[in-house]
Amino acid sequence: MNRGPFLEMQHVAKAFGGRRVLTDLSLAVGQGEIVGFIGPNGSGKTTTVRLLTGVINPDAGIISVGGYDPRCDGEAVRRMAGVLTESAGLYPNLTGRQNLQFFADLYGVGEPGRVDALLEQFGLADAGDHRVGTYSTGMRKRLGLARALLHRPRVLFLDEPTNGLDPEGIRMVLGYIRELNAREGTTVMICSHLLSQLEQVCHRYLFLQGGRVVEHGTLAELEARYFPTVTLEVETDLTLGESHYHGIPARQVGPGRIAFTLPGRGDVPLLLRRLAQEAAVYSAVPVHRDLEALYFKIREGTAHE
């Protein structure tokens, strides 16, 4: 990872009908990174993807995708990019197989068996000869992802890739994204409001607000920035007789559950080792340090900027 920016935007602006959607957007995504692109509705996530794929042009700024400028080399960019939008862009009167074959021909995919392999990969082999108009939302989503992957793209832009999927489908899609990235080094940008799912696949996160990136980093980097202390809730047999445990602030939060406040995540192993020597420890969970908590903390900090 971090082999130099594969996607790059510098001071990009875009307006529609006088309404500014992107004001001063700068970002960089390294080759082989899986990046979560996070922001409220209307913050410009879809516009950013359309600019990166050369569907629309910026009013100002510089954009580069794999060394190409989408304004001048839109076709080259689209040949290396796979895109999954919420609508999926499928033809309902064609079968799943016919849809994939149509797009394979469009992309110039001459790989024998590629369509059948993708239908099998996404659990659609038995439905491949059924019209897409008869598919469930989850089936259409899986077929849309298969379409985006037909030409083995170097970069994937995924907009809410798990919406409408059941838990098994969610696990399959997230697992495939991880596998694809590990096996082929595919760069992935995921736009999603399902933050707990992003935690399962992303290396890094970009937070978009007011038409610009207001924060970025790995989960560990963001935690260190916004949650310098750690509250660890431990299920244990320990009897807490006071508000401290070996100098660590602690409080009973339920039967057999104690919340410890630590200076940082580096202090967690020492606390757990000490506890395990004195009492049984059944579980230990950091409280309010997930991506969702970070999202609201960042939103809160930038709301008045």
Residues 6+ apart with CB under 8 A from 4: 30, 31
pLDDT on residue 105: 94
In tens, the pLDDT along 110-158 reads 899 999 999 999 999 999 999 999 999 889 999 999 999 999 999 999 9
| Phi, psi (rounded to 5 degrees) for 37 | -105, 110
State what percent of residues in the chain have pLDDT above 70. 97
Residues 6+ apart with CB under 8 A from 277: none
Reported pTM: 0.86
Structure tokens of 147? 């379409």
The Cα 207–Cα 305 span in angstroms is 14
Residue length of the chain: 305
Q: Report the chain's mean pLDDT, rounded to a whole number.
A: 92
pLDDT on residue 4: 65
> Which whole number is the average pLDDT over 2-13?
86
Residue with tokens 């310098």: 228
pLDDT on residue 204: 97
Is a pLDDT exceeding 70 seen at residue 255?
Answer: yes
pLDDT bin (cut points 50, 70, 90) of residue 86 is: confident
pLDDT on residue 2: 44
| Phi, psi (rounded to 5 degrees) for 148 | -65, -25
Contacts 24+ apart (CB under 8 A), 9-13: 9/48, 9/51, 9/52, 9/61, 9/62, 9/63, 9/64, 10/61, 10/62, 10/63, 11/60, 11/61, 11/62, 12/51, 12/58, 12/60, 12/61, 12/62, 12/63, 13/58, 13/59, 13/60, 13/61, 13/211
Residues 6+ apart with CB under 8 A from 117: none
The Cα 94–Cα 91 span in angstroms is 6
In tens, the pLDDT along 28-38 reads 999 999 999 99
> Which whole number is the average pLDDT over 287-304?
84
CATH class of 5-222: alpha beta
Residue with tokens 């992935």: 188
Amino acid at the residue 205: Y
Q: For the chain, which residues make up each domain, given as ranges?
A: 5-222, 228-287
- Residue 88 or residue 245, greater confidence: 245
